[in-house]
């Protein structure tokens, strides 16, 4: 990439979670391509307070305590918060023994940060990379609808169709936690690229791939190995696959190298009424409804190319 190519401005909205942490590390290891303006925590995998603390731990692990971290929404818009300690552990970042952060959270609310940053930068220059429930993004769009045309793209991890769900038989966790927020975002008219379970369940952290990350020999590689070796337990026992899916880093990898992935522009609509199918992403993959197309839906990717990118970038960190 030529030196004259400006780095893409991104805001990361996240609920760290081990896979979120790996995504954040991948972004921070790629400063020539990605200008991480800020990180906003949202309630999801664990509580907002814990997710925000984990985000601070991760920027310190990357040696980037200059990145501003904000706390956003403490709960979903309508529904009670559902968390995932059964996957991520009590801290949400179990596995490595990362020190308590000394970096402080920004005082501003994360939703206000998103709105103000989008209004302060030229329209169409900021990509929102969302790794958790979409509560912050939806509240920002409701508080300041004028930001919608200013967002270059939302690249989100969430949803699933051919693969079904992972928190219920039909719903993926990020959408299930706040289906109303997902509905607001998917109806916003903002360009959206979705990395659903259909994709992430083909991006598996096999033992060989984890060993190559550990063999990097730096702090980041050791921490990522410890993170994924912890969080994989749940998926390995559930799916019996040879490696656990690595969800959130697909978002950052897509922004870095979209050519690693294939997708289709389709309509995706969120179930917000039925308790049976709450949070289901009804993906009209075959175009049978005539509903307007609102999502680039990533269904497949180059897993070897993804892990080669991830491992090479992690090696750039401390
Ligand atoms: O369903 C996977 C998603 O839920 C990932 O973002 C993971 O971190 C959890 O938030
Ligand atoms: Ca997440």
Query: Residue 263: CB within 6 Å of ligand 1?
Result: no
User: Of all atoms in ligand 1, which is nearest to the CA of residue 245?
Assistant: 2
Residues 122-164 pLDDT 10s = 999 999 999 999 999 999 999 999 999 999 999 999 999 999 9
Distance in angstroms (rounded) separating the CA atoms of residues 111 and 100: 25
Residues making up the chain, counted from first to last: 318
Q: Across the chain, what does the average pLDDT equal?
A: 97
What number does the ligand 1 atom closest to the CA of 44 have? 10
Q: Which atom belonging to ligand 1 lies closest to the Cα atom of 200?
A: 2
pTM score = 0.97
CB 232 less than 6 A from any atom of ligand 1: no
Q: Are 155 and 254 in contact (CB under 8 A)?
A: yes
First to last CA, the chain: 23
Tell me the CA–centroid distance for residue 11 and ligand 2, in Å.
14
**Range list of H helices, the chain:** 18-28, 48-61, 85-88, 110-120, 135-143, 173-177, 179-186, 197-200, 207-214, 219-239, 249-256, 303-314
Q: What is the 3 CA–ligand 2 centroid distance (Å)?
A: 32
CB 235 near ligand 1, within 6 Å: no
Stretch 92-106: mean pLDDT: 97
Q: What percent of the chain has pLDDT over 70?
A: 99
* CA-based nearest residue to 146, from 116, 184, 179: 116
Contact 196 CB / ligand 1 (< 6 Å)? no
d(CA 313, CA 74): 32
Q: Which ligand is nearest to the CA of 41?
A: 2
Region 254-275: mean pLDDT is 98
198 lines ligand 1 (CB under 6 A): no
Contact (Cβ atoms closer than 8 angstroms) between residue 130 and residue 137: yes
> What is the pLDDT averaged over residues 198-215?
98
More confident call, 251 vs 234: 251
Tell me, using a 6 A CB cutoff, whether residue 19 lines ligand 1. Answer: yes
DSSP notation for 176-220: HH-HHHHHHHHTS---EEEE-HHHHTTSEE-HHHHHHHHTT-SHH
Determine the residue of 51, 157, 244 to mutate for testing ligand 1's pocket, defined as the one with the most ligand atoms within 8 A of the Cβ atom.
157
How far does the centroid of ligand 2 lie from the alpha carbon of residue 16, in Å? Answer: 6
224-243, pLDDT tens digit by residue? Answer: 999 999 999 999 999 988 99
Fold of 8-200+245-303: Inosine-uridine Nucleoside N-ribohydrolase; Chain A (3.90.245)
For ligand 1, mutation pick of 17, 26, 51, 177 (most atoms within 8 Å of CB): 17
Would you say residue 1 has pLDDT above 60?
Answer: no
Active site residues: 247
pLDDT tens track for 32-89 = 999 999 999 999 999 999 999 999 999 999 999 999 999 999 999 999 999 999 999 9
Q: Could you read off the pLDDT of 111-129 as tens digits, one per residue?
A: 999 999 999 999 999 999 9
Dihedral, 77, 159, 26, 110 alpha carbons, nearest 10: -10
Q: Is 243 in the pocket of ligand 1 (CB under 6 A)?
A: no
Residues 6 or more apart whose CB falls under 8 angstroms from that of 152 comprise 124, 125, 126, 127, 191
Who's near 80: CB < 8 A, 6+ residues apart? none
Domain borders along the chain are 8-200+245-303
Mutate to test the pocket of ligand 1, among 18, 174, 246, 253 (most ligand atoms within 8 A of CB): 174
Report d(CA 156, CA 12) in Å as an integer. 10
């Amino acid at each position: 990439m030529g030196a004259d190519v400006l780095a893409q401005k991104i805001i990361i909205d996240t609920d760290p979670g081990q896979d979120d942490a790996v995504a954040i590390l991948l972004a921070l290891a790629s400063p020539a391509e990605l200008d991480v303006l800020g990180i906003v925590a949202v309630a999801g995998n664990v509580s907002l307070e814990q997710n925000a603390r984990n985000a601070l731990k991760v920027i310190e692990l990357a040696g980037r305590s200059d990145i501003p971290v904000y706390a956003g929404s403490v709960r979903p818009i309508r529904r009670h918060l559902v968390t995932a300690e059964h996957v991520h552990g009590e801290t949400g970042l179990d596995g490595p023994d990362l020190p308590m952060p000394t970096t402080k959270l920004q005082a501003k609310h994360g939703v206000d940060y998103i709105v103000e940053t989008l209004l302060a930068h030229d329209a169409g220059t900021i990509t929102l990379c969302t790794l958790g429930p979409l509560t912050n993004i939806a509240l920002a769009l409701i508080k300041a609808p004028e930001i919608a045309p200013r967002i270059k793209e939302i690249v989100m991890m969430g949803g699933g169709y051919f693969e079904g769900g992972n928190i219920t038989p039909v719903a993926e966790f990020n959408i299930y936690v706040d289906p109303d927020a997902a509905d607001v975002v998917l109806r916003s008219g903002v360009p959206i690229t979705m990395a659903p379970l259909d994709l992430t369940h083909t991006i598996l952290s096999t033992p060989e791939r984890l060993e190559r990350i550990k063999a990097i020999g730096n702090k980041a590689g050791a921490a990522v190995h410890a993170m994924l070796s912890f969080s994989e337990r749940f998926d390995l026992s559930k799916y019996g696959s040879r490696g656990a899916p690595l969800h959130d880093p697909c978002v950052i990898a897509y922004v870095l190298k979209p050519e690693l992935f294939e997708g289709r522009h389709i309509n995706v609509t969120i179930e917000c009424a039925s308790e049976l199918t709450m949070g289901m992403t009804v993906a009209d993959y075959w175009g049978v409804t005539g509903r307007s197309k609102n999502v680039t839906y990533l269904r497949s990717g180059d897993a070897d190319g993804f892990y080669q990118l991830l491992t090479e970038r992690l090696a750039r960190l401390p």
